[in-house]
Amino acid sequence: MKFHKACLMIIVLLLAVIALRPVINPTPALAKNQYQYAVIAMNAAMNRLGPVQTELDKRTTDGWELVQFSTGEQTTATTFYLVFRKQTH
């Protein structure tokens, strides 16, 4: 009977060590960021999208990819938000 209790106690201790190891000594989780992001906010009238197109042309020529385009309405002008990303090596 003492032998069974001793074996069970050893098993419990080993399982406790295995279960508590991540809590006591956690391994860092590092996300590998492959992209660099740039956010451009531009004020322009709705009928004058030339500056927005110029910015798009300039960024895409430099290897940037447009990932989001959104607008924010104001009283006199519209703000265009351009989000670009570029893959880093």
- 4 within a domain of the structure (yes/no): no
Is residue 53, in this structure, part of any structural domain at all? yes
66 found inside a domain:
yes
Q: Is residue 55, in this structure, part of any structural domain at all? A: yes
For residue 79, tell me if it sits in a domain.
yes
Which residue's structure tokens are 């451009």? Answer: 40
Structural domain contains residue 13: no
Task: Please count the other Cβ atoms lying within 10 Å of the Cβ belonging to residue 80.
Answer: 19
8 occurs within a structural domain: no
Q: Which residues have a Cβ under 8 Å from the Cβ of 46 and sit 6 or more positions away?
A: 78
What's the pLDDT score for residue 65? Answer: 92
For 31-58, what is each residue's pLDDT tens digit?
A: 677 888 999 888 776 567 777 888 889 9
Q: Does the residue 62 lie in any domain?
A: yes
pTM of the model: 0.55
Distance (Å, rounded) from C-alpha 13 to C-alpha 32? 36
Q: Which domain holds residue 45?
A: 35-87
The single-letter DSSP state of residue 25 is S
| Secondary structure (3-state) at 45 | coil
Which helix (DSSP H) or strand (DSSP E) does residue 89 occupy?
none
Q: Report the number of distinct structural domains present in the chain.
A: 1
Q: What is the dihedral of CA 16, 21, 23, 27, to 10 degrees?
A: -160
DSSP character at residue 72:
E
Question: Per residue in 3-15, pLDDT tens?
Answer: 888 889 999 999 9
